Amino acid sequence: MAENALREMMGHRKVKLGHLVAEFATPGIGHILKAAGCDFVFFDMEHSGFGMETLKSAIRYFEAADLPAMVRVPSHDTHFIARAMDMGVEGLIVPMVGNADQVRRIVSAMKYHPAGGRGVALQIAHDRYRPGGVADKFTAANRRTAFIALVETAEGVDNVDSIATAEGVDCLWVGHFDLSVSLGIPGEFGHPTFTAAMDKVVAAAKRHGKSLGRLVGNVQQGIEVHDQGFDFVCYQGDIWLLYEALADAVGKLREGCAKAGAR
């Protein structure tokens, strides 16, 4: 896999399609997603319960499959950010980014000197256990790692321009459900207040030349958000996709078998 694959993707606005993993961190998951045509994977530690040992293994699965991975850590805590980076995270997603000061603290925790103050650990998972000079290691790590700011609060929308222009931000990501809650209209994605907030984030991403991403629940929604300006489109999550496919098939099988038995 190219060392800077995710950041290279963020250098253009062609559509990039991915999938969220929150349950099935199995050895084959990277290869399955790659074979299905995914360009990236969104690995969620915030709502999944995945710990650092699971993350460390999952990153190796994605590397083996040549599948760039972005990882959502549970919080802004340096403890989570720095350890995730040491495990080899390429794209870091941090929830509830509300202002540029938060961005600066996050970037400091994830980047090495001179871009940040990340604690030094070399020839471990993040640099694939390879030896090398300190200066070269710092440069390579800083060039490789991307920061995806998760805008999912009213504060984040209000400050989206300063977030987008803060040093180290490569991509804006809309957390649509939490955003609707923060705006006081839980789940009302067609509400004028929500659509106005979305328009503001889309405009900021375009104005400042940043990639833009979000999760979608179906194909049509994915096409629609891409038309709005989203270039990272994350289709569904592993739990919900399995549930929907299985529930549909089981329901049809049960109905068909009942009809056959009645004949």
pTM score > 0.85 for this model?
A: yes
pLDDT at 2: 58
Catalytic entry in 12, 31, 47, 191: 47
- Is 19 tagged catalytic? no
pLDDT at 180: 98
Residue numbers of the chain with a pLDDT score lower than 50: none
Q: Give yes or no for a contact between 52 and 75, defined as CB atoms under 8 angstroms apart.
A: no
Per the DSSP assignment, residues forming a β-bridge with 171 are 148, 211
What are 59-107's pLDDT values in tens digits? 999 999 999 999 999 999 999 999 999 999 999 999 999 999 999 999 9
Domains defined for the chain, CATH in brackets: 5-262 (3.20.20.60)
Three-class SS state of 235: strand
pLDDT at 140: 93
Residue 153 is classified by DSSP as S
Give me the phi and psi of 198, to 5 degrees please: -65, -45
pLDDT at 178: 97
pLDDT at 22: 98
What are 3-22's pLDDT values in tens digits? 689 999 999 999 999 999 99
pLDDT at 137: 94
- Under the phi-then-psi rule, with left for phi > 0, alpha for psi from -120 to 50, and beta for the rest, what region is 101? alpha
